[in-house]
């Protein structure tokens, strides 16, 4: 799963959907292999390298969110702890791992965007 940590570090969404909605939008973008949607979820001042992910990098990658918890939230900043299983398929092989990631989201133009992410625990299957 090397190389997936950057991909599994992002998600954002509309102002009405809240921080959890932003993370769900992120997972949908990954599962749909939609790099445009994925890149749109990155905060422009954050560490997610907005615009740098391509459809090809998302191909064969899927994310299933097991749990989410908003651990901090203010009017323009939130921290969400997410446990998710990611699966990478290709060349007849499949690799899965479950990890817990801490996402920092900040509002940009009224919408929650992923500012940064950090894997706090993980393992392979």
CB-based burial, 87-124: b 16+ in 10 Å, e otherwise:
bbeeeeeeeebebbbbbbbbbbeebbbbbbbeeeebee
Its CATH class, for the domain covering 4-124, is: alpha beta
Asked if 57 and 122 count as a contact pair (C-beta separation under 8 A), the reply is no
How much is the pLDDT for 9?
44
pTM over 0.75: yes
How much is the pLDDT for 91?
85
pLDDT tens, 48-69?
A: 765 688 888 889 999 999 999 9
How much is the pLDDT for 4?
46
Q: Which residues pair with 84 in a beta bridge?
A: 65, 99
C-alpha 42/C-alpha 32 separation (Å) is: 17
Q: Which residues pair with 44 in a beta bridge?
A: none
Residue 96 parent element (H or E): strand 93-108
How much is the pLDDT for 123?
58
The segments of the chain whose pLDDT lies below 50 read 1-16
pLDDT tens, 92-104?
A: 899 999 999 999 9
Sequence spans of domains, the chain? 4-124
Task: Please state, as a whole number, how many other Cβ atoms lie within 10 Å of the Cβ of residue 79.
Answer: 17
Task: Please state, as a whole number, how many other Cβ atoms lie within 10 Å of the Cβ of residue 59.
Answer: 12
């Amino acid at each position: 799963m090397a190389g997936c940590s950057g991909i599994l570090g992002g998600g954002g969404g509309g102002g009405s959907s809240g921080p959890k909605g932003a993370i769900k939008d992120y997972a949908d973008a990954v599962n749909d292999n939609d790099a445009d949607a994925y890149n749109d979820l990155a905060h422009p001042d954050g560490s997610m390298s907005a615009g740098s992910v391509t459809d090809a990098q998302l191909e064969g990658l899927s994310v299933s969110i097991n749990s989410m918890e908003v651990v901090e939230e203010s009017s323009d900043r939130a921290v969400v702890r997410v446990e998710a299983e990611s699966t990478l398929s290709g060349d007849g092989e499949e690799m899965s791992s479950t990890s817990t990631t801490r996402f920092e989201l900040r509002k940009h133009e009224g919408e929650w965007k992923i500012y940064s992410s950090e894997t706090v625990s993980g393992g392979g299957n």
